[in-house]
Amino acid sequence: MSSFIGDWHALAILFVAGVIPNQIWRMLGLWFGGGIDENSELLVWVRAVATAILAGIIAQIVVQPPGALASVPDWLRYGAVAAGFVAFMLARKSIFAGVIVGEIVMLSGKYWPG
């Protein structure tokens, strides 16, 4: 059981760094619902920053890969993302087409040189 939970410290950090900063916005939405224009200028900026932060996270995983992903050469990770993106666009923005083509390129590229 202890290995399932890990240490309680990590769980406490999850609540402080993850749960509370996330839930606060849902509860504010519940409290102040109505009266907020979804197309207001402030929300356009907020959405742009949120999108860019998410893009940064995506880039971080590809550029500074964790764990097993680090065994894949740089060019292959970048190539897989690029190939996936081409498939995504060709398949009229199908998330699945992009993910599957990206995976196939990366896995076959890694497999090929042995």
Determine which helix (DSSP H) or strand (DSSP E) holds 92, and give its type and residue range.
none
Binds another protein (CB under 8 A): choice among 4, 112, 113, 114: 4
Note whether 59 binds another protein by CB under 8 A.
yes
Note whether 75 binds another protein by CB under 8 A.
no
Q: In this structure, which amino acid lies at residue 47? A: R
Note whether 18 binds another protein by CB under 8 A.
yes
Note whether 82 binds another protein by CB under 8 A.
no
Stretch 27-56: interaction string toward another protein, x if CB under 8 A: xxxxxxxx-x-x--x-xxxxxxxxxxxxxx
Q: In this structure, which amino acid lies at residue 3? A: S
Using CA atoms in the order 42, 48, 53, 59, what is the torsion angle rounded to 10 degrees?
180
Please identify, using beta-carbon distances, which residue of 16 and 75 lies nearer to another protein: 16
Please tell me the distance from the alpha carbon of residue 102 to that of residue 113, in angstroms, as a whole number. Answer: 18
CA 98 → CA 17, 90, 106, distances in Å?
31, 9, 12
Note whether 96 binds another protein by CB under 8 A.
yes
Nearest distance in Å: CB 52, another protein: 3
